[in-house]
Amino acid sequence: MFRRNHIEHEYQEIQRSGQAMLATHTEMPLPDDTAGAPAVPDSSPAPDFLPPDFRAPTRQDCAGFMMRWDQPIVVDGEVRACPECGAYRSWAVFSMRDDTIWLRCTAGHETKEPGLDTAWFNRHSGPIDTFHPTLDEALHHLGL
């Protein structure tokens, strides 16, 4: 009997302190909108956003991405070959901004490849490590 009374007493204490806390909360003053707050919200970018020189170019900043692909490319069970020279390996694969994929053989013939898409390119390409201002520089970088 003593134990039960003790628990009930403890419960009532907790209930009273909870009610006191709620009463305190309603007595808190409402935030004063005019005190210390700027009249117009600050529209400048967050201060922790990188300055433009440190930001990596986005997909919209580049004409496209490219990777070297030395093995034959098989699309729907068929090995892709250059329609002009018949080459079927050592490709430069381009993923363009308009979501098209282009294949370029070592002779410089470029062919649109509708059987591949940006998702395929992204699955097979590594992380972007270098940006080049011209296609020739990019091809040179890839050793093509």
Q: List residues near Zn ion by CB under 5 A.
A: 82, 84-85, 87, 105, 107, 109
Q: How far is the CB of 140 from Zn ion (least distance, A)?
A: 18
Choose between 62 and 87: whose C-beta lies nearer to Zn ion.
87
The residue among 87 and 96 lying less far from Zn ion, judged by its C-beta, is 87
Strand order in the sheet with 110-112: 64-69, 91-96, 101-104, 110-112
Q: Please, what is the minimum distance in Å from the beta carbon of residue 105 to Zn ion?
A: 3
What is the rounded distance in angstroms from the CA atom of residue 23 to the CA atom of residue 115? 68
Nearest distance in Å: CB 130, Zn ion: 25
Both tokens of 10, joined, read 């403890």
3-state secondary structure of 54: helix
Q: Which is nearer to Zn ion, 62 or 81 (CB)?
A: 81
Please say which residue, 22 or 107, places its beta carbon nearer to Zn ion: 107
Segment 128-135 long-range contacts (CB within 8 Å, at least 24 positions apart): 128/56, 128/65, 131/57, 131/62
Least separation, in Å, of the C-beta of 78 and Zn ion? 17
* Per-residue tokens: 97: 């901004």
